A and B are shown apart, each in its own frame.
Chain A
Amino acid sequence: MNDGYAVRAEGLEKRYGEKRALDGFDLAVRGGTVHGLLGPNGAGKTTAVRILSTLVRPAGGRATVAGLDVARQAREVRARIGLTGQYAAVDEVLTGRQNLEMFGRLFHLGGKRARERAVELLEQFDLTDAGDKGVDGYSGGMRRRLDLAASMILAPAVLFLDEPTTGLDPRSRGEVWESVRALVADGTTVLLTTQYLEEADKLASRITVIDQGRAIADDTPDGLKNLIGGDRIEVVVAERSEIPRVVKAVARVADGEPEADETELRVHAPVTDRVAALTDVARTLQDEGVRVEDIGLRRPSLDDVFLRLTGHRTEKEAAA
């Protein structure tokens, strides 16, 4: 039954009216890893997670979680998963402890065990002091940690984290990342959806890029970066009039057409022979007397990957 994959999806389909939320979506997540699911708003990330966590039934295709079919064995799947949604799905009126005890009893732990488990989880997620305060008084980071704790009551085989750090400040985001790393160290498999490319890069050992309901790439973060041509040389100049000369100098050593950004006064292009290319361009520009503000080699970011694969930037980038 277990082929090393904690989550498998084949050809998942789901439509909402005219819109195809999922259009033949495939996914394979190895046990004991963090797998990133990356895509712009409306790409189908949340729909995929809702199907895999048994909240929504797929219109087509099949999926297994922990070796169990999400449609036919939903109840068994539910006993083995944790779900942390984009909006903290905890009760805001109850205290942190009351929340964990309630969810523990609803996981059928029994009253005594539920109380013990609540104490353990409050300790583990650094919420002991706030345990008897109402959740409505919690900070965003505390609330998200409580949400994670509630997802961990049964120590799930697979944890779904749907945009766990959206709307959190950098410090709270760091706290959530720490918690996720600790869970994976204990053997939990995590499927992480996010719009933050940095987050996927930091946490995930493998990333699936989803766009318009389909998986359009699946690789390690480094593999994805290599996919679009490895390192790039980048030159920033002081004057717009210098750009054509820089493009010419870069074109001589580049693997592809240099791209010029007229507003940021930046020229960049993929290169293979890194140091030789850098030296060559630096010497040429110096000889020609071009005023260079900055020159260097840059590993592509996941933003670059995204732009290349989907033809558009993430929602966040587009708004900026």
Chain B
Amino acid sequence: MSALDPTTGPDGRGRLYWLLADVANIVRRGLTHYQRQPVNIAWQLGFPILSVLLYGYVFGSAMTVPGGGDYKDFLMPGMFVMTMAFGFINTATVVVHDSTKGVIDRFRSMPMASSAVVAGRGVTDLLVSCAELGIMMLTALAMGWRPDGGWGFLAAFGLLLWLRFALIWIGVWLGLLVPNPEAAGGLFAVAFPLTMISSIFVAPQLMPDWLGWVAAWNPISSTAAAARDLFGTPAGGGDSWVEQHALLMAGVWPAVLTVIFLPLAVRRFQRLSR
């Protein structure tokens, strides 16, 4: 039997019922963690909010947006993307804790659906990301950010979550790959430059050519550009193909990441029984 086979309960109810029940229970566990340690969500939001304040108020006056427009308006969608992008560290941290402390082993020794452990993690992280985005947007509104409402707003919100969804699998994969929680903390050092070399803070065309090219092709740049477009805030332009097709690529990039990392994460999870 595969490690990811859903398992049934003691009564006659079907596999799907119990799979969903197990996922719901794992989600409930994840949300209870936030309820018991609300400071965690403050930590997760602390960095993006601090960045908004620093870049918006400290550097903001020195920043220019190609094609004109207010830098704070340019910055806000980038901050939302950064919050989503750093999310994979949160996923990895929880997963590495669970696997090294033996909680995942206990789940796997029980007659529940093993796949619910991973699926429940994903649903929890998406729910938490919705809350994070909500708080970030309220902060942005308080600072004078004024997006277009309506369908564009919802589409941008959806694209941000779509990016976060793709990054869940990188998080699960890394969480099962790194040896201990301390190593997971080191992921921040990798994530930080990866988010800097993108269109989050500065338009790629203002960077040296080669760096601008890398930044433009950074998957999170597409989400940022698409979100700016949909919010109706300054997009920062850009002539390259990838920048001209930001909306398309904001859909494609997360799909590519999911296609690569979802199987890697699942395989890593199944390898636990080797």
Per-position binary interface string of chain A over residues 73-99, scored 1 when its CB falls under 8 Å from any chain B CB and 0 otherwise: 011101101010111111111110010
In the assembled complex, A134 has its CB within 8 A of some CB on chain B: yes
Complex contact B110–A55 (CB within 8 A): no
| B227 CB → nearest A CB, Å | 33
B22 touches A91 (CB 8 A): no
Let me know if B10 is at the binding interface, CB within 8 A.
yes
Q: Once the chains are docked, how many angstroms separate the CA of A150 from the CA of B105?
A: 13
- Which A residues, 124 to 158, have Cβ-Cβ distances below 8 Å to chain B? 134, 150
**Alpha-carbon distance between A98 and B22 when the two chains are bound, in angstroms:** 15
Q: Which of A54, A74, A78, A107 is most buried by chain B, counting CB atoms within 10 A of its CB?
A: A74
Q: Is A106's CB within 8 Å of the partner chain B?
A: yes
Interface centre among B9, B26, B106, B107 (most CB of A within 10 A): B106
| Cα A87 to Cα B29 with chains together (Å) | 20
A248 within 8 A of B: no
B103 within 8 A of A: yes
- Assembled-state Cα–Cα distance A86/B21 (Å): 29
Q: A83 to B103: give the CA distance in the assembly, Å.
A: 11
> Per-residue 0/1 for A34-46: is the Cβ within 8 Å of any B Cβ (1 yes, 0 no)?
0000000000000
A150 and B106 within 8 A (CB): yes
Q: When the two chains form their complex, are residues A90 and B274 in contact, meaning their CB atoms are under 8 A apart?
A: no
* Binding-face segment, B32-40, B53-61, B84-92, B152-160: B32-40
Known: A102-B25, A106-B107, A107-B110. A93 touches B37 (CB 8 A): yes
Task: Decide yes or no whether B272 CB sits under 8 A from chain A.
Answer: yes
Contact partner of A79 among B10, B18, B33, B272, CB < 8 A?
B10
What distance in Å separates the Cβ of A113 from its nearest Cβ neighbour in chain B?
11
Contact A78 B110 (CB under 8 A): yes
A98 to B8, CA, bound (A): 23
- In A208-261, the 8 Å CB interface with B consists of none
When chains A and B are docked, how far (Å) is the Cα of A72 from the Cα of B5?
13
A244 shortest CB reach to chain B, Å: 54
A79-B10, A94-B32 known; A53+B109 contact, CB < 8 A: yes
| B111 with A87: CB separation less than 8 A | no
Determine whether the beta carbon of A55 is less than 8 Å from that of B25: no
B10-25 interface with A by 8 A CB criterion: 10-11, 18, 21-22, 25
Choose one: B8, B103, B112; the contact of A90 (CB below 8 Å). B103
> How far does the alpha carbon of A54 sit from the alpha carbon of B26 in the complex, in Å?
21
CB distance from A29 to the nearest CB of B (A): 17
A contact face: mostly helix, strand, loop, or mixed? loop
Tell me the minimal C-beta distance from B32 to chain A in angstroms: 6
Which residues in A have their C-beta under 8 angstroms from that of B102? 85-89
Q: Are A93 and B105 in contact (CB under 8 A)?
A: no
B111 with A108: CB separation less than 8 A? yes
Q: Is B108 an interface residue (CB 8 A)?
A: yes
Q: What residues of B have a CB within 8 angstroms of the CB of A57 in the complex? A: 273-274
Smallest CB gap from B34: residue in A: A93
Q: Does A105 reach chain B (CB closer than 8 Å)? A: yes
Report the minimum CB–CB distance from B8 to chain A (whole Å).
8
Q: Is B28 an interface residue (CB 8 A)?
A: yes
Q: Is the CB of A89 within 8 A of B103?
A: yes
Q: Can you report 17 residue pairs joining A to B where beta carbons are below 8 Å apart?
A: A55-B105, A56-B273, A56-B274, A75-B111, A76-B111, A85-B102, A85-B106, A87-B101, A88-B101, A92-B101, A102-B25, A106-B22, A106-B107, A106-B110, A107-B111, A134-B36, A150-B106
Report A's interface with B, CB cutoff 8 A: 53-57, 72, 74-76, 78-79, 81, 83, 85-95, 98, 102-103, 105-108, 134, 150
B residues with a Cβ closer than 8 A to A are 1, 5, 7-11, 18, 21-22, 25-26, 28-29, 32-33, 36-37, 101-103, 105-112, 272-274
